[in-house]
Amino acid sequence: MHTLTLTRSLVLEAAPTTFAEAAERHLDDVFGYLLYMTRDRTLADDLAGATFEKAFRHWSRFDARRGSARTWLIGIARTTALDWFRSESRRKRREQAAAQPEAQEADFVEGLSPALQAALATLSAGEREVLALRIVIELDGDQTARVLGISPTAVSTRLSRALTKLEEKVRNDDLR
Amino acid sequence: MTSAELITELQAARPAADSALRDRVRAIATREPERRSSPFARFSSRRFALVALPAAAVLAVAVAGVAGLAGSDRPQQLAGPPLAVESSTTTTATSDAARAQAPSAKAGAPAAETATAPAPAPGRAQRYSAQLTIAVKDNDALSDATQSALTTVRQLGGYVVSVQYATAETGSAAMTLRVPTAKVQEALVRLSGLGRIVAQQVQIDDLQGQVDELTKRETVLRERIARLSARIADPGLDAETRATLEARRDAARSELSQVRTERARVNGEASFATVQLALQTEEGSGVTPVPSRFDRALDRAVEILAVEASVALYALVVAGPLVLIALLAWAAHRGLRRRDDERLLSAP
């Protein structure tokens, strides 16, 4: 089991009083999450915009007692991303994709080593998702579990497997 | 590279939104926020149910309570044996005289503390029958009341035909009393004072017509006998005629005797009224105490609640299967979507 040290403060954020405040505070988290999910900066950009459009429309339903604004926004981002994946999957099936997978950015996250970028690309979207939530965005186990709709134990297991896989990929890449 | 190093690198390279996206989101945020369309908009269906169901239950109870209180003003219609306040008095009259008494019988129907039975018509032969049911407190009171009833009847010149007396946890006594008809009203008043009147019934059959008929017949027979006796006294009668007349006179005398006996019987019947008196303790009387306003309100509220519950049950029975199907469909859709999500996320 990997020991996860979170460097970002996990002190409960004060609930934002306005949508603008929430958007300003959590835009990077939403974008980062979507970037890890899609491995495409442009797409992540579009989906982040769609996410905040949707969040703005439903801001009146946000209840700080039920969860943080960040978790709420990430939940919307996840739904938006899954909807996009679903429509994309249908589109690919319709077009039969001509066996040509669409090229995705090799270095979708700036500042990462090429080996880590390559290793991340081999992970599934679900594995990258849990890495993004737990490590990049630094949601805690309970918040991540709520976003993914699984138990905190399952989150730990999924994270551990993703990190192990990532570690192996990076090591194999280094050996080549 | 270890996991710790990976984590450090991942966290160090945390992605940031570019300025174009930031501006776009800021533009969204500066728009006029949507007003809540309704005060319930922020409630999820689960929260709404958590509030709505108890609220509906409280409302149902409140409606039942208010309706119960409102309905408790009206007197309750009770089926079953007559109550103390509703003792029934039935008068069956078979002659003009008795019919003339019927209104007074009805006027005395609501027996309260004492019986107000119709009085027999003076100077007319009438068969007067009364049935009186009296509730007394307990077995001791039953014994005292029985003794008092017997004493009363004797004091009024009547007599006791039969008495049945039984006590256990509850007690009862049944008496058949004969009271001079002229004093039957007084008797009923005194007997009704032995306890609480549960039921009262009076029946008056006019016998005067029968008495008049018998009297007329007696007169006719007496005259016939006198005529026959005068003819028989004639010395010129032959033996055969005399024998025939004597036989007819004997028959008339015999019939006269029967008529007199019958008239005496009818007069005897008319001179004494029959009173069927039933005494019973409160526990055994089957008498429901008159409910208080609070009890009536409570009963009414319970009735309304029962109606509400049956309506709710009916709605549940009708809508239940549809709701169940909808829930199953929703669960299946959710499960399929979850599987679809997993499949989508399992791809690189």
Q: How far is B288 from chain A (nearest CA, A)?
A: 58
- Taking an 8 Å cut-off on Cβ atoms, the answer to whether A32 and B11 are in contact is no
**What one-character-per-residue DSSP string does B53-84 give?**
HHHHHHHHHHHHHHHHHHHTTSPPP--SSPPG
Report, in angstroms and rounded to the nearest whole number, the Rg of chain B calculated over CA atoms: 46
Q: What is the pLDDT of residue B348?
A: 73
**What one-character-per-residue DSSP string does B114-151 give?**
S--PPPPPTTS-EEEEEEEEEEESSHHHHHHHHHHHHH
User: B141 near B195, Cβ under 8 Å?
Assistant: yes
Q: How far is A121 from chain B (nearest CA, A)?
A: 7
- Taking an 8 Å cut-off on Cβ atoms, the answer to whether B18 and A27 are in contact is no
Work out the number of other CB atoms within 10 angstroms of the CB of residue A113.
16
Neighbouring residues of B209: CB distance < 8 A, sequence distance ≥ 6: B95
Q: What is the pLDDT of residue A139?
A: 92
Interface-testing mutation among A76, A78, A136, A150, with chain B (most B C-beta atoms within 10 A): A136
Task: Please state, for a pLDDT cut of 70, what percent of chain B lies above it.
Answer: 80
Q: How far apart are alpha carbons A52 and A74 in whole angstroms?
A: 10
User: B345 near A150, Cβ under 8 Å?
Assistant: no
CATH 1.10.1790.20 fits A19-175, yes or no: no
Query: In chain A, positions 18-77, which contact chain B (CB-CB < 8 Å)?
Result: 18-20, 23-24, 27-28, 30-32, 35-36, 44-45, 48-49, 52-53, 56-57, 59-61, 63
Residue type, B247: A
- Taking an 8 Å cut-off on Cβ atoms, the answer to whether A23 and B13 are in contact is no
3-class state of residue B197 by DSSP: strand
Neighbouring residues of B341: CB distance < 8 A, sequence distance ≥ 6: A82
What are the 10-residue block averages of pLDDT along chain A, 176 residues in total? 50 70 92 92 93 92 86 94 89 68 66 86 91 92 91 93 90 70
Q: How far apart are alpha carbons B138 and B115 in whole angstroms?
A: 21
Q: What is the pLDDT of residue B109?
A: 40
Provide the mean pLDDT of chain B. Answer: 80
Neighbouring residues of B342: CB distance < 8 A, sequence distance ≥ 6: A126
- Flag residues of chain B having pLDDT under 50: 76-113
Q: For chain A, which residues make up each domain, given as ranges?
A: 19-175
Kindly state the helix (H) or strand (E) to which residue B277 belongs, with its residue range.
Answer: strand B272-281
Task: Write out the two tokens for B28.
Answer: 């969204």
Q: What is the pLDDT of residue B258?
A: 93
Chain B residues whose C-beta is within 8 A of a chain A C-beta are: 1-4, 6-7, 9-18, 20-22, 24-26, 28-31, 33-36, 41-42, 338, 340-342, 344-348
* A2 at B interface, C-beta within 8 A: yes
- Taking an 8 Å cut-off on Cβ atoms, the answer to whether B7 and A89 are in contact is no
Q: What is the pLDDT of residue A3?
A: 52
Q: What is the pLDDT of residue B90?
A: 39
Q: How far apart are alpha carbons A116 and B190 in whole angstroms?
A: 114
Q: What is the pLDDT of residue B255?
A: 92
* A82 at B interface, C-beta within 8 A: yes
Q: What is the pLDDT of residue B193?
A: 87
- Taking an 8 Å cut-off on Cβ atoms, the answer to whether A27 and B21 are in contact is yes
For strand B272-281 and strand B126-136, is the pairing parallel, antiparallel, or unpaired? parallel
Q: How far apart are alpha carbons B249 and B232 in whole angstroms?
A: 9
Phi, psi of B182 (to 5 degrees): -65, -20
Work out the number of other CB atoms within 10 angstroms of the CB of residue B113.
11
Q: What is the pLDDT of residue B35?
A: 54
Number of inter-chain CB pairs under 8 A, A vs B:
136
Q: What is the pLDDT of residue B181?
A: 87
Neighbouring residues of B170: CB distance < 8 A, sequence distance ≥ 6: B139, B280, B281, B283, B284
